[in-house]
Amino acid sequence: MRKLLPLLFIALLSSCSFVTETEERGEKISHPSIILENADYTLGQSGENPIFIKSSRMTLYSEEERATTENITFIQYDDEGNAAITGSADTADINTSERSMHLSGNVALEQHSSNMHIEAESLFFNSATSEIEADGDVYVSSDDGTFLGTGFKGDLREENYSFASIAEGVFNI
């Protein structure tokens, strides 16, 4: 019996293995760099017209070059200092390096030069290229008419817009 106990103990130890891998498991946990209440933020680069953002709460993630906001409003001025684009949303996820925003919840965007107003539940706005895109239902009104459709894409600089499908619309002639 005395010889059997050490043999069992050796057998038990030899069947165990220790994990020494340092490989990450699961998703990376994001830690905010700073959380701001009633925040003002400027999104842009030198030599271009930046977007001035106000939000009730902004969480910045410096390492990921992104920010999240709640109750966002924003404005971008043209070269003459006039309001060119204004907008609002319940929330936004902002890519600070690409200068783009994914707006969600009660999204409203207005381009003042063409008197165009856009409403959607979700909208992607790339301020660097002035392109916008929305997959869901989008309501657009302008001097040209009013339209309700899906799959909306637009270029705010060139003032070119399209829908994948239009549910209803009225052209003003």
The structure tokens listed for 7 are 């043999």
Over residues 98-106, mean pLDDT:
95
pLDDT at 43 over 90: no
Of the two residues 29 and 7, the one the predictor is more confident about is 29
Q: What is the pLDDT of residue 21?
A: 52
Q: What is the pLDDT of residue 8?
A: 47
Give the pLDDT confidence score for residue 16 in this predicted structure.
Answer: 47
Give residue 24's pLDDT.
54
Share of the chain above pLDDT 70, in %: 83
Provide CB contacts within 8 A for 106, sequence distance 6+.
Answer: 88, 89, 90, 121
Read off the tokens for 166: 């239009």
3-state secondary structure the chain: CCCHHHHHHHHHHHCCCCCCCCCCCCCCCCCCCEEEEEEEEEECCCCCCCEEEEEEEEEEEHHHCEEEEEEEEEEEECCCCCEEEEEEEEEEEEECCCCEEEEEEEEEEEECCCCEEEEEEEEEEECCCCEEEECCCEEEEECCEEEEEECEEEECCCCEEECCEEEEEEECC
Lowest mean pLDDT among 7-16, 44-53, 95-104: 7-16
CB 161 within 8 A of CB 170: no
Q: Using CA atoms, how far apart are residues 45 and 56, in angstroms rounded to an integer?
A: 23
Work out the average pLDDT over 111-127. 94
Q: pLDDT at position 92, please?
A: 97
For residue 26, pLDDT over 80 is answered with no
Task: Tell me: pLDDT of 12 over 50.
Answer: no
Identify the pLDDT of residue 139. Answer: 96
What rounded mean pLDDT belongs to the chain? 86
* pLDDT on residue 15: 47
Rounded mean pLDDT of 94-108? Answer: 95
Report pTM: 0.78
